[in-house]
Amino acid sequence: MTGSLDHDGYTILTGLLEREAVDQLLRDLERLRTTPAEERPAGERAEAGTRHLHRLDERSEVVASLLDHPALTSVVHTHLGSSVAASQVSARTPQPGFGGQRLHTDDVARSPGQAPTTLTAIVALCAIDDRNGGTRVIPGSHRRPDLQRRAGGLEHHPDEFVVRLDAGDALVFDGHLLHSGTPNASDADRPALQIVWRIERGEGVR
Ligand SMILES: O=C(O)CCC(=O)C(=O)O
């Protein structure tokens, strides 16, 4: 189901990364995963269950080029304006049995008339669905501050569903959209990039 960013709060960009680029990026992640702790960016540590790698725009050429992909920059600039840069460029890899999260937003609850200030992209590095820890979303919840205020306390919502992606596709969503990672019930890792663009308040929100 391909949503509209304005109406549904999310959209899907297919084929952002070719198979070859996905494979190179997976090799990059494997190399970075084994980097000695003292050479890692601050705040990056090996975590049981779900692995995180940060600042990948500085550590992988594939990721650096992806940030300039016309389809991605077009969505980001249309939604947030052209002066915003990615503030978080990470990989999130739930291992089998891990990755379930509570429904949450990536921004504070929307106030009346507030323009969007945050956009997140999940770029799949394998086929992702409801069995291996896909991202669940509640369409339209970016327009529902009442639901956003229940972030962290809402177990399920009747409209929620898990987005299916092929390797190289991206789910892009408004920071006010309720969403979460789901448990990876497969027997393989679920690698994906997690990229966030954020306009700091008072920084010329259009
Ligand atoms: O990796 C995902 O599917 C979503 C992760 C997420 O929403 C988060 O870590 O805040």
Ligand 1 site, CB within 6 A: 92, 101, 122, 135, 179-181, 192, 194
Q: Which CATH architecture has domain 10-34+46-198?
A: Sandwich (2.60)
Enumerate residues 6+ apart whose C-beta is below 8 A from 131: 185, 186
> Are 50 and 189 spatial neighbours (Cβ–Cβ below 8 Å)?
no
Amino acid at 7: H
Residue 7 has a pLDDT of 95
> Are 182 and 151 spatial neighbours (Cβ–Cβ below 8 Å)?
no
Atom of ligand 1 minimally distant from the CA of 194: 1
Residue 206 has a pLDDT of 40
Residue 34 has a pLDDT of 87
Q: Which among 129, 135, 174 is the best mutation to test ligand 1's pocket, defined by most ligand atoms within 8 Å of the CB?
A: 135
pTM (two decimals): 0.95
> Are 164 and 128 spatial neighbours (Cβ–Cβ below 8 Å)?
yes
What is the token pair recorded at 142?
Answer: 């970016």
Q: Which among 47, 54, 92, 142 is the best mutation to test ligand 1's pocket, defined by most ligand atoms within 8 Å of the CB?
A: 92
Q: Is 145 helix (H, G, I), strand (E, B) or coil?
A: helix
Distance 192 CA to ligand 1 centre (A): 9
Q: What's the pLDDT tens digit per position in 120-151?
A: 999 999 999 999 999 999 999 999 999 999 99
Measured by CA distance, the residue closest to atom 7 of ligand 1 is 180
E strand map for the chain: 10-13, 50-53, 86-94, 118-124, 135-137, 161-162, 170-174, 179-181, 192-198
Residue 44 has a pLDDT of 80
**Spans in the chain with pLDDT lower than 50:** 204-206
